[in-house]
A and B are shown apart, each in its own frame.
Chain A
Amino acid sequence: MGRQLLINDLDKEGIATLAGYKANGGYAALEKALKMKPEEVVTEVQKSGLRGRGGAGFPTGMKWSFIAKPPGVPRYLVCNADESEPGTFKDRYLMQRKPHILIEGMIISSFALGANTSYIYIRGEMMYVFHILEKAIQEAYDAGLLGKNILGSGYDLDLYVHCGAGAYICGEETGLIESLEGKRGNPRIKPPFPAVKGVWQCPTVVNNVETLAAVVPIINMTGDEYAKIGIGKSTGTKLISASGHINKPGVYEIELGVPVEEFIYSEQYCGGIRNGKKLKAVVAGGSSVPILPAEKLLKTPKGEPRLMSYESLSEGGFAEGTMLGSGGFIVMDEDTSVVKNLWNFTRFYHHESCGQCSPCREGTGWMEKILHKFLDGHATMADIDLLWDIQSKIDGRTICPLGDAASWPVASAIRHFRSEFEEYVKKGENMRDIQHYYRVNQLEATNS
């Protein structure tokens, strides 16, 4: 197993409490950071090469450097804990087991940004984690780690948890900001970017849970040292949420650059495909990223082993590659119906579309209906092209990336698994009874 910086000490007694966290070196980074200048903290994060862990992979230090500093206007840091990308469960895992690493990361980051009030926006479904965070924050206040004059530094910070109420769109940063203001989570048109006009029209930075937690080891070890971990521009470690048809689903912290094949088959990670089945396809970074068939996932277009990194997973563009995204790694075995899985994802995007932009609001609904025709056995070959046409007219034509996220799974499924759509058309209603799986052999046996 490679180096672990975030979940290395989860087995330590009381790590979820302030005492246990401190006994294992917690809040040392905060003490160090408070002796630095805020801009020096930003520089360390820039040097680390840390990229947003929520999905977009935007360099964190650069995002921080964009924050506007008009005099007399408060600045805010908001943690995006609205983890709702299907296939992703790392943030819940981390917050539940080690809440203080997020709190420490947020105090350091707020100090770097000059924010005196910060919020953690957690999705409402994770209500029990909301209370875990409340308790941990209370402990931090009692120990002088939050509130006025933190550790005698003269720096003040109030940190609050805010809960959502069930809306995928609030994971989009401007949707999240609208929601934090007490409104429907309709994303805003950018510009102005949140760094200039965010929550309550004040400069705001929104960062993912894992991103803010990673600031703690960066300050402890320095940005330069952190940048030595990983590969190329994919520095550091990443939490991967592994799910689906594997022997050992769960959260794994990897050094970026681990070969995908090793990640799937090695005993220290996913432990191979369950029931001795073969690998059919993987959605490597949360439901929004393109699905890849096994052979394209394991090897790059150049025939080299593909690695778990931002660059390697996207090698070959959308024709041949995918994205690291949020690290939601969904594995499908040979029996899985890609068409039915796609219907499931598309229904999700239709359900979660906020309804502002017509390409997304109408397009996701049409795609869901057409995919349902395939499952019902009433689709025609022209429907495959129609699906392709609709997705191409959503992609890039909406205010926020939900439209893109809804179109990419459709495009990639047709691109790589067109023959399976054709099979649904040819076999028609005979495919109806296939509930979970695409068991061609069984179906053929019943037909003969």
Chain B
Amino acid sequence: MAEIKPIKFSDEALQLCHKIMKRYPEGKQKSAILPVLHIAQAEFGGWLSAPVMDYVASLLKIQPVEVYEVASFYTMYNLKPVGKCVIEVCRTGPCWLMGAEDLVKFIEKKLNIKEGETTADGMFTLKTVECLASCGTAPMMQIGETYHENLTFEKCSDILDNYKAKGEHVSHWRKERITNHSDIKQ
């Protein structure tokens, strides 16, 4: 039987969320929803399940629906399970001019998945995203918080191999920035 883990942030994540919530005026803690959802994604395997969103609602003392409507609006939140590494390839204008379309096809072939899919081993999910403000270094992709720029097929291939060799879960809000959040001013 699968083990059912209670939905709860780690102590460090909880502390970090409370720090962030204090940045907004009294009674306006709902404002913290976007950063808190980023932290939730890092804490719970890269995506937001309904129970996780309910938990975030209780933390911010708002209704669950207020979390659902936000989580479904912003593209960085995954509402379905994803691989350990989400590859986000920029597909907009300047990146397209510089070959983003071919880059996506290359990754699809290399990983044997289509855009939007996850590899069978659960390592990679391939997404295309809109302009990441890296047009002068196109084509590019983002994995976690890292921008991989001026990509060629070879370079892209090496980068993906490296992630695979490490086999770690990568999130936008890096795990180590949650464990140690001394850089975040209250």
Contacts and interface: CB of A to CB of B under 8 A. Distances in A.
B92 to A, nearest CB: 5
A328 B177 CA distance: 32
7 contacts: A87-B131, A92-B133, A241-B135, A243-B136, A245-B97, A348-B131, A351-B130
Interface residues of B, number: 52
The listed residue with most A CB atoms (<10 A of its CB), out of B91, B98, B101, B133, is B133
A244 B130 contact: no
Contacts of B77: 165-166
B49 interface: no
Interface in A327-365: 328, 330, 332, 336, 341, 344-345, 348, 351-352, 354
Contact of A181 (B30, B92, B147, B174): B30
A249 B183 contact: no
B75 A243 contact: no
B76 A165 contact: yes
A431 B69 CA distance: 41
A87 to B, nearest CB: 5
Contacts of A190: none
A390 interface: no
A390 B95 CA distance: 27
Interface of A: 74, 83-89, 91-92, 117, 123-128, 131, 134-135, 137-138, 141, 160, 162-168, 179-185, 200, 241-245, 249-251, 283, 287, 328, 330, 332, 336, 341, 344-345, 348, 351-352, 354, 435-436
Nearest to B69: A184
A127 B74 contact: no
A392 to B, nearest CB: 23
B70 interface: yes
Contacts of A180: 31
Given A128-B146, A182-B28, 17 more contacts: A84-B130, A85-B131, A88-B133, A89-B133, A124-B172, A125-B76, A125-B132, A126-B133, A138-B185, A164-B74, A166-B129, A185-B74, A243-B94, A251-B136, A287-B93, A348-B92, A348-B131
Contact of A160 (B23, B60, B76, B177): B23
B172 A87 contact: no
Contacts of B183: 131, 134-135, 138
B184 A124 contact: no
B99 A436 contact: yes
Contact of A184 (B73, B94, B97): B73
A86 B92 contact: yes
Contacts of B138: 243, 249
Nearest to B27: A200
Given A250-B136, A341-B93, A345-B93, A124 B73 contact: no
B135 A352 contact: no
